[in-house]
Amino acid sequence: MSSTPDPRDMRWVSSTYSGGQGGNCVQWAPEHAVATGEFLVRDSKNPNGPHLTLSPTGFTTLVKYAKNHA
């Protein structure tokens, strides 16, 4: 039986739209996505809080939405 890795142990990458000044920042775990096909997304201000688990289509839709509303 496999177990889900602890999201706190993953490498999280900030959105390129974050600008590096803090504030609103979305992060995702690229290695987890490659290994499982699940795209984990979280709020950088709350790294130990909940995260979203998206399908590849859901992640693509989220990125398109963010690009159009940035």
Rounded to two decimals, the pTM is 0.77
Buried b (16+ CB within 10 A) or exposed e, 12-25: beebeeeeeeeeeb
| Number of Cα atoms under 13 Å in the Cβ half of residue 46 | 8
The tokens describing 9, both together, are 């142990």
Asked if 14 contacts 25 with a C-beta cutoff of 8 angstroms, the reply is yes
User: What's the rounded mean pLDDT across residues 8-19?
Assistant: 77
Give the Cα separation of 2 and 45 in Å (integer).
29
pLDDT band at 66 (very low <50, low <70, confident <90, very high): confident
- Say yes or no to pLDDT of 23 above 70: no
Task: Give the integer Cα–Cα distance in Å for 30 and 42.
Answer: 12
